[in-house]
A and B are shown apart, each in its own frame.
Chain A
């Protein structure tokens, strides 16, 4: 009986979409976000001890410049995965959006603001197509978004003829908004960090506290049950595909402005990196259980691993081995925690 109660308490907080109330230290410590967080701390300590430069202002600034771009996509992906779908086309959208913006500006003489808007509208269209095909025709999101990846990446390569474009680099409102930078002490941060923080807070609110979050978790957990209660499952999924695509495009624009180049091959492989961030953080690939805090930890962890492994001198060609092993270890840990917490 005591054990049963314990199990239920653990269950109650293993996901953010649960009742969201920590009932005791034991349950908090066994939640996936927390175990990811502990491992993140351990990794940071190990890297810091192994190489003194890991925690230097320059290195932290570098990590923080890169983190928001993948992190912003990961937020959308977390919500989408929680609803039981995923999107493999985000890396390609990350490249196409800024490429289209810069082509409009450079070749068609369109105002930068209008061009950015057009780029975002294109992302909305891509997400809507993904969502409609997945929900209305009933093809799995794996196949639909894999095809979309090829189409979008192909489009980016074709319209640029494979060459990177010089990005917008004249100072102004949009550059400041997307890729401005500021210093805090010895640290140099980009405005993208504010975007990431702001969007993260919004995502936490939606998933944990809003009515919509309840729907998203319910759809991913048991779509039929949600539909039977009158939840508009298809509409919610379509909007989440649109959101994910939109965030991928926004991240691509931020990246292009920061490095002053829009490349048609930017973001290659990002779809898997982003999904890894999300699941390492504790969100279930099968839907129903999503955690934004976990995704933030996951994003930090993957960036820290990629950065730290290079610093501690692992040969460049071997480094994906380590990344893969660490991700796998995290997933095994989550699976074991989950197994203890539920009864099927």
Chain B
């Protein structure tokens, strides 16, 4: 039996009179890829923002490895081993790859100088190169290259490798294949599989159901702030999932059409 890594219980979140998250509960196990699906406005973003510490939840409990936690900031989420990779906002384009990889967790000398402490540039560079090599993209990329010189897929790979590097227990990917070319998309999906193989748990938010069937173990569907279905990929099919997302019974419609 795989160990439980993250458990959400009855999460609720309102913005004014809008109940963005009504009563969401889900469990994520070790080395599992769970796809979070739902139409725009279904509450997916609210859910992942709550887990990654962007804003606090109104009600409900979050457990990490069985222990109840409260997540009040992105920093706290990261310290708990929850890394989130947002669509296009994860990297600073004017910084080098190495500096992006360690942003917020810079290796420094003379630590007592606080924010004025000098970066340990040699360590920064070596660690970045080692990381790029480990994730298999060192041949193409130089740790000193600016992120603005990279393609969308390369940037996504950097963001994902950064999450893996800090041995995150849970990696949340928010639309990781948005705006990517075919080849780059496959690269990212391969990464997701590697993450699972390395024992990370992945929560994948996407609109592309084909990708879900390619990499996910389990599917969770949200609609209007609630989790309406949970299925293992092996036990379901594309049409069923699409019906769950839209709320209309597509397979019945299809049968009628035939």
Which listed residue (A211, A217, A221, A224) contacts B86, Cβ 8 A? A224
Residues of A within 8 A of B119 (CB): 209-211, 214
Q: Is A206 interfacial (CB 8 A cutoff)?
A: yes
Chain A: interface residue total (CB-CB under 8 A): 42
**Complex formed: what's the CA distance from A193 to B91 in Å?**
39
Stretch at the interface among A17-25, A127-135, A252-260, A306-314: A17-25
Q: Is B198 interfacial (CB 8 A cutoff)?
A: no
Chain B interface category by residue count: 35 or more
Chain B nearest CB from A155 CB (Å) reads 32
Q: Is A229 interfacial (CB 8 A cutoff)?
A: yes
Interface of chain B residues 69 through 104 with chain A (CB within 8 A): 73-75, 78, 84, 86, 89-96, 98-100, 103-104
Residues of A within 8 A of B143 (CB): 19
Residues of B within 8 A of A224 (CB): 86, 89
Chain A nearest CB from B249 CB (Å) reads 39
Q: From known contacts A18-B144, A288-B92, A342-B148, infer whether A230 and B73 are also in contact, taking CB-CB under 8 Å.
A: yes
Interface of chain A residues 160 through 205 with chain B (CB within 8 A): 205
Stretch at the interface among A4-12, A101-109, A140-148, A315-323: A4-12
Question: Taking CB as reference atom, which chain A residue is nearest B140?
Answer: A4
Stretch at the interface among B17-25, B110-118, B180-188: B110-118
Q: Which of B84, B89, B94, B151 is most buried by chain A, counting CB atoms within 10 A of its CB?
A: B94
By the criterion CB–CB under 8 Å, are A217 and B94 in contact? Answer: yes
Chain B nearest CB from A321 CB (Å) reads 33
Which listed residue (B89, B118, B149) contacts A8, Cβ 8 A? B149
Q: Is B121 interfacial (CB 8 A cutoff)?
A: yes
Which listed residue (A9, A210, A214, A221) contacts B93, Cβ 8 A? A221
By the criterion CB–CB under 8 Å, are A18 and B146 in contact? Answer: yes
Residues of A within 8 A of B255 (CB): none
By the criterion CB–CB under 8 Å, are A214 and B106 in contact? Answer: yes
A-B contact pairs, 14 of them (CB 8 A): A7-B149, A11-B149, A12-B96, A18-B144, A210-B118, A215-B104, A218-B99, A222-B91, A226-B104, A227-B74, A228-B86, A229-B78, A288-B93, A341-B146
Closest 8 interchain pairs by CB?
A229-B104, A288-B94, A19-B144, A230-B75, A221-B92, A221-B94, A11-B146, A8-B145
Beyond A18-B95, A222-B92, A225-B92, 6 extra complex contacts between A and B, CB < 8 Å:
A18-B146, A228-B89, A229-B74, A230-B74, A231-B104, A288-B94
